[in-house]
Structure 1
Amino acid sequence: MSYSDETVLSKLSALNETQEGIVSIAQWVMFHRRYAKRTAELWLQRVRESAAQRKLNLIYLANEVVQQSKARRKEDFVQAFAPIIAEATELAYQAPPDIQQKVKRVVQVWRQRLIFDNDTLNAIEARVEAVEKGKPMGGIGRKIGGGILGGGLSGAAAVPQELKQIVTNHQALSGKLSASTISYGSANMEYNKHMESNNIPAPPVYAARLSQLLKTLDTAHTAVQDAITARSELIKNLELLLDTNKTALANEQQQLDELTMKRTKVTEMKREVENKILSGLDSNGNGSREGESATPSKSPEEIERPEVEALTPPPMDDYEEQEAAAPQHEYPQYEGPDLFSTLSALNGSPIGKREVIDEMGGMDELDSDVAEMLRNEAQAQAGQHQHKRIRLDLVVPGGDEDGEYHP
């Protein structure tokens, strides 16, 4: 069977998951080794359009082709698949967990056997890891990313409103690209076959073939034109989204500048207020009030602790010094005889009695009753006279306000 895009696509569509089906198609693909690059392009296009299980079958086919080519030291297919294998693996990995495990196993085999170069293997593993980090907890992969990359948009409800039109345009473009790629490849092959061949058939046959070639070229022309229209629509919406975001960016930058200016103004005002507060505290601490000390206030740590009075009594010398330093109260001075006679009279001393007896010394010749009466009167007068002198002249400490003395 001759090689053509239609033949390749039909082979890929008939691919199943059995070992026999994969090996047989891989052998046919390797037989047309000179079309390795074209086959890889068609294979990637089919991966983009297929469901999860068929994507896994296509990964198995690519694995068989590149491993067999590596074993036979034919690098055509390895070089053809290397630029696109990372994207295809990412698309295939956006699948249920059981399919993900199978795809990951294929990637591990490629790493162990060094089927591709390190850069390609790192790119594949990075794509797989990105899908694992971006997938929801119970989901099957990056739903939005799958749609943008060309896969099925299973999570269309989660697409932001601003991106829905772009996603729709991208899906339309993916379909147009598939048709245009196939039509363009077929038209080129037919053109080379009929226009660059040295074996020119008979004119009637040649005319019929040229008519068929025109139809093929027209089909390819229409397909490519549709792809251009779809891509132009996508670019238009992307530019509209870009302009919208540029306008929003300018507004946000203006808001940022305004907030920066206000923040700077508030910061300066705050600094001025703090300086005023500090200057006010300094002026209060420098003795602006009357009677306050001019020395700055001390911190609690710098305040001296009060001296505690000792419990031990001071020595006797201190008492003597205090008594010597104490002011002396002045008391009225009395002459010796008067004070002595007064105290003797109060205490009933013999001196007072002798004075009374001497004064009454000439009463021996009087009647005893008269003499006794005179003595009593004399003693009473003497007592009254002494009592008046004490109240008027003698000031004794300890007396009450009523003038009475309490011994």
Structure 2
Amino acid sequence: MSFSEEQFISKLNLLDETQESIVSASKWLLSQYKEANQVATCWKTFILKSNTNTRRKLLAIYLANDVIQQSKHKRIGQFGDAFGNILGEVMGRVYPELPQDLRKKVRRVADIWKQRQVLPESALKSILANMNESAIKPSKTNISPELTPMVDIYNELSRSQTHVSSTKVKFDKSMEALDPSSVVYAENYKTVTKIGMIAINALKKSEELRKKAIDELKMMVDFQTEQLNQDQDMINEIQALVASKDPLTQQTTTLIESNALPTYEPSDGSDSESDSENESRDNEKKLAKKRSSTVAEGEDETKRTKLASFVDGEDNHEETAPEAYEPSPAEVAANSPLAVTSSIQDLLSKLAN
């Protein structure tokens, strides 16, 4: 009978920790010794899958152990060589993932291989070296405290599934063996009923754990949704603050504010013209006042000139324009009316003599 990977995977998924389950699968594999390399490759693929739980990986190692030891005893060397080529890599990757209690069980299996020399020497050295190296490496998994409850539930579910699988297999076998024509049918039926109740209880335990897992996941979803909303609010806040400091935005705001200020249109010039007219009038008044002062001074000078001509004996009636000058204090005193009257009196006194 040719080897079937689907059938082998099915047997791996149905394994339980009983000797009967391991020995039954081992016998079937030993009959496939011509395909030992294919068996080992399929086993490696199964055990290294990320969705294969740790308990299922331990059972797969138990199965490999029985196959290796039985093949050594029955002188079927193909399985020792086939598994020896892959066990070093597999142990190096699987061993660090296992919890402490399962590590002890796997270490016990490796020690048995070493003691009984059921594998080639090179394969044993590779297995132990990879296990020791992976054991001293720090764990790459750093579980957040928020995820711890979910991880605990998942691990318990994994253990529960092993019990569910084994009890379901027993129930199926007991049902197949139940014969209504047997004289002990009633007793066999009671036994089947008990096995069925054990399977039901295992499934109820699994059902309870799955409900807890769903509730825990809902809480995680609600928490992450709240955190998501807070992140979005902070993103909007940061974007608004950055936009408020954008130079282009500030220039536009300044321009809008300056345009909003009231503007004053220049006048039509009437006020300026009025100011100019007032200034012109003031200048004319000042000029007229200056002219009046000049004329008055000119009249005084004319009088003085005529008087001087008369004293000198000259009768000059020709009018001459006086020169503009600033009189000194002495001249101002000499030109006063009192000074002129005194000079006339002196002149008349001389004529009388």
TM range (shorter): 0.3 to 0.5
**Which structure carries more helix by proportion?**
2
Give the TM-score, by structure 2 length: 0.38
Higher relative contact order, chain-length normalized (CA < 8 Å, sep 6+): 2
